[in-house]
Amino acid sequence: MELPHCAHYPRLTSVSTWIKVTNPLSVKTKIQAAKSPNAQLTASEREKVFLEVHIQNLTQKPMTFQRVLFECVDGWTVEDMNDDIYVGSAATVPAQEVRQYLYVLTPHVAKNRKDHAPGSVIPLGRLDISWTTTFGEPGRLLTSVSVNNNLSVPRTEKREH
């Protein structure tokens, strides 16, 4: 039903406003495989993947991390190497400061597990980060799945001369 235009029914107008939102966190990850010669001697150590996470508070006020959790995809287990180092007052991150977290990922041992070809993309998992601001406002960031580009060289057989 269309309303007639008159003094009792003024025309509707829409107003657009833009709200600028800034990112409160910067998350950088670095994925590495064991490089030590001793680590290459055993299959369990050779297959481990190390995930290093740097989280920076980009706001002008402190924030308190409630949870920083790495959720691995099926086929991996995760070992949190942080041992509750950022709990209590240490969980509060001042403005512009960076926190570092380390996780060790190990593939499940299964009879039907297939080896990945060199250069293939292997999904590892994602980060679940929640925090509160100084005013108690909650925040949460769930990252996309981190992947590892398998750059390992295929094993070669030992040749006998």
The secondary structure element, H or E, covering residue 67 is strand 63-72
Contact 45, 102 (CB under 8 A): no
pLDDT per residue over 136-154, tens digit each? 999 999 998 877 765 443 3
Vertex 15, ends 11 and 19: CA angle to 5°?
165
Split at pLDDT 50, 70, 90, the class of 54 is very high
pLDDT per residue over 15-38, tens digit each? 777 777 788 999 999 988 877 777
Q: What three-state secondary structure class fits 24?
A: coil
pLDDT per residue over 70-79, tens digit each? 999 988 999 9
CATH homologous superfamily for the domain 25-149: Gamma-adaptin ear (GAE) domain (2.60.40.1230)
pLDDT for 44: 76
pLDDT per residue over 81-129, tens digit each? 998 788 888 889 999 999 999 999 998 865 445 566 667 778 889 999 9
Report the range of poorest mean pLDDT among 6-15, 32-41, 66-75: 6-15
Asked whether residue 47 carries a pLDDT value surpassing 90, the answer given is no
pLDDT for 107: 87
Give which of 67, 127, 54, 143 is closest to 97, Cα–Cα.
Answer: 54
Contact 124, 101 (CB under 8 A): no
pLDDT higher for 81 or 8?
Answer: 81
pLDDT higher for 153 or 50?
Answer: 50
| In the chain, domain spans | 25-149
pLDDT for 161: 44
